[in-house]
Structure 1
């Protein structure tokens, strides 16, 4: 800290500094001399990579292994959440195989149905009735199945290839988990001690009683989870990091790596096109409470930094794997291995699986340039739109949901006498003819803002989808 700076500048320096970037001159010191703390989602990602990429990532992590430190909360979430990650992968592959068989079975049925249409017309209007009998023999269930057999074998081959590429059995148990064992050896005894019950209770009370209601980062978006312990997970991790930093020499550096970029970790800066930076309060808190310097990075930046500063090369395909897993990674797993819903709050800063929003939009005919741009934008309002399109098209049967898709709880409209909690407008904001049930519907404010930003040519389709979803949810609740 420069003593010549005015007190106002000194006190709020974290808020006045530019957003961290890969070009920061001080960044190298965090990689060569800093304590490295990996969030749970970074460790669970190891189960999502292909075998070759996983080996590459482990090599990169071993370059900083002597400076790795694991908070007790991360260890608990990792050990308990790994089973859920493995089971999700198994369910996804099993579900994909079932979907392939279902679609192929439907294809056979469709061909037979088409044959029957022709046979029916021949019987009704044709003179050569024996032609219908000939068609029934030529186009049978078995003959059509045989024609599709080559396609079935090709699709199965690719699914089996996915299983083998990961190099992990789907029925992995604790005793033979090579990822768990390798992580354990990499950390050694550099693991935080379990907090006493009194300390744990005090931290939870601070989180749910003071910080979360006042939206003080990190973790306040988890407020309202099933139990206070689950809600306070991110804050418990944070407190461990700050307390550990106090035991380090003054001026020490801490590099925290996480795939969590929700608004309770990252600030969206107005007027910057939706650009984000970690909340300055986080840096300030580490400085004032522990006398240490903090840097927060996403996995892609972190592994690129290891290559740049520690000269540990990663294959180009590994970077693609890191980006793929980061964008498609499920919601953080809590200490009991359970995943949460994608809600309006979490959707604003959570990228959906690559290409899925575009696929969903194509299923309902949204093709204007403005809408295509929104489907690729990282702005919070458009993130909500992307997740809603994914959810509503699957819910209304406009497309077949992929195996193990996210659980999404986002509605653009609801039916009822009173609005739900939150920011909703009466459907009378629309003109007569633009909305059904105008007197008994409530429209989400984010949806109204969205329509103001998207081309008017797409409004009718979007309003229709929102109205159908509201009616479907009403019927489901009765």
Structure 2
């Protein structure tokens, strides 16, 4: 017979605290007395914000400085990724410039084709061509200028480094001792093999240091993370973040006896504004959200600039829309629309990825449309088979060319 006294002492949230909805009083207590932990993506997001949004986010963090703490591994990852974050804007600008050049040539060809069919004086065509080329040149020059102004590789001239140095001085954890570090790497490999979050050596080292600091301080933890994937978050079926991973919540309760809360930097700004006073501007919240979306789709943006060529070879200039984990390129008229869904599903599990991609495609389906899904790399066989069973074409880059599934070849998306 079961122990009734033990059963009576448990409630429906015992062991399931990660599913509890965080309320304003929880947030107020966290900002006043909790341990506020920043991750690498939050620090790097400062490079993608406008100067105004960066100032507001730093101001909100200063209001909680007495509770701020950064694991040593977060800073190790920050310095490893900082120059890539700076060069990311230059790479995107260079690809955008190339795409604009191609669009310019296509526009000039269209102008000349039009001029051949109408009565246009011979002196007018060069003038119109010059107007087109000057407009493109002006846009490319402005993109390059804006990118150069933001990129300060020299740490002595980097305002983000200067601000973080002042904000985080005395708020950074120690590295793990060498023996503990080696043991943690071994444990990370085992957890990754057994699919125990968080995944990857770097994330586990961060988590290991958070566990130790939370146990030392005995305070609830607010992890401010710019990541949107399932390593830290409990995701719903649409890939939306709903709270901390239950496994992480319970591990922190077991090790340190405290609770885990997760929050995106834009949500942190919003709550700081509501609970600490009007320290931020509303547009700054929107800009930080945009910066995080850009960070989470930066690889897809590079992929998008490459994939534009597939449209240009068909004399189509696509429009561009980005969202969490996806970018959509679209061209053509209703009934004959061609769409490319460039995706990075937030789920590691293949079936969940297939469902997420299929739902995304169905959301934009139009009668007579022609859709293809593009991955940054070749997806696994289970994902390919799952999407093929749904009749969804799939492509991925291979060097300077594109490979794809049978449906992609049958529909003419892959021509080589």
Quote the Cα distance in structure 1 between the aligned partners of 2:293 and 2:355: 16
Tell me the equivalent position of 1:176: 157
Matched, 1:198 2:164: no
Tell me the equivalent position of 2:251: 285
Matched, 1:444 2:412: no
Quote the Cα distance in structure 2 between the aligned partners of 1:218 and 1:366: 44
CA change 1:212–1:355 in 2 (3 A) is: closer
Aligned partner of 2:225 among 258, 281, 287 = 258
Quote the Cα distance in structure 1 between the aligned partners of 2:8 and 2:391: 39
How big is the shift at 1:260? 1.8
Unpaired runs of at least 5, structure 1: 120-130, 220-230, 334-338, 343-351, 390-397, 400-405, 412-420, 425-442, 452-461
Bigger fraction of residues in strand: 2
Quote the Cα distance in structure 1 between the aligned partners of 2:193 and 2:281: 44
CA change 1:195–1:407 in 2 (3 A) is: farther
**Number of aligned residue pairs:** 366
Tell me the equivalent position of 1:297: 263
Tell me the equivalent position of 1:429: none
Task: Report the 3-state secondary structure (helix = DSSP H, G, I; strand = E; otherwise coil) of the residue aligned with 2:69.
Answer: coil
Tell me the equivalent position of 1:326: 292
The residue correspondences of 1:235-250 to structure 2 (distance < 5 A) are: 235-248=204-217, 250=218
Work out whether residues 217 and 281 of structure 1, in 8 Å CA contact, stay in contact via their aligned partners in 2: yes
CA change 1:277–1:449 in 2 (3 A) is: farther
Work out whether residues 341 and 409 of structure 1, in 8 Å CA contact, stay in contact via their aligned partners in 2: no
Quote the Cα distance in structure 1 between the aligned partners of 2:298 and 2:5: 41
Tell me the equivalent position of 2:53: 53
Tell me the equivalent position of 2:123: 138
How big is the shift at 1:163? 4.3
How big is the shift at 1:301? 1.8
| TM-score, scaled to structure 1 | 0.64
Tell me the equivalent position of 1:384: 357
Unpaired runs of at least 5, structure 2: 305-320, 363-370, 393-404
Task: Report the 3-state secondary structure (helix = DSSP H, G, I; strand = E; otherwise coil) of the residue aligned with 1:174.
Answer: coil
Quote the Cα distance in structure 2 between the aligned partners of 1:49 and 1:19: 31
Work out whether residues 42 and 225 of structure 2, in 8 Å CA contact, stay in contact via their aligned partners in 1: yes
The residue correspondences of 1:335-414 to structure 2 (distance < 5 A) are: 353-354=322-323, 359-362=328-331, 381=354, 383-385=356-358, 408-409=376-377
Task: Report the 3-state secondary structure (helix = DSSP H, G, I; strand = E; otherwise coil) of the residue aligned with 1:195.
Answer: coil
Q: Kindly provide the CA deviation profile for residues 352-404 of structure 1, in whole angstroms up to 9, marking residues without a partner as x.
A: 83399674245596799xx99xxxx9996564358899xxxxxxxx99xxxxx
Work out whether residues 41 and 332 of structure 1, in 8 Å CA contact, stay in contact via their aligned partners in 2: no
Tell me the equivalent position of 1:423: 382
Greater Rg over alpha carbons, structure: 1
Work out whether residues 35 and 221 of structure 2, in 8 Å CA contact, stay in contact via their aligned partners in 1: yes
CA change 1:382–1:307 in 2 (3 A) is: farther
How big is the shift at 1:423? 2.1
Quote the Cα distance in structure 1 between the aligned partners of 2:71 and 2:324: 35
Work out whether residues 215 and 264 of structure 1, in 8 Å CA contact, stay in contact via their aligned partners in 2: no
Q: Indicate the RMSD between aligned Cα atoms, in angstroms.
A: 4.3
How big is the shift at 1:291? 2.0
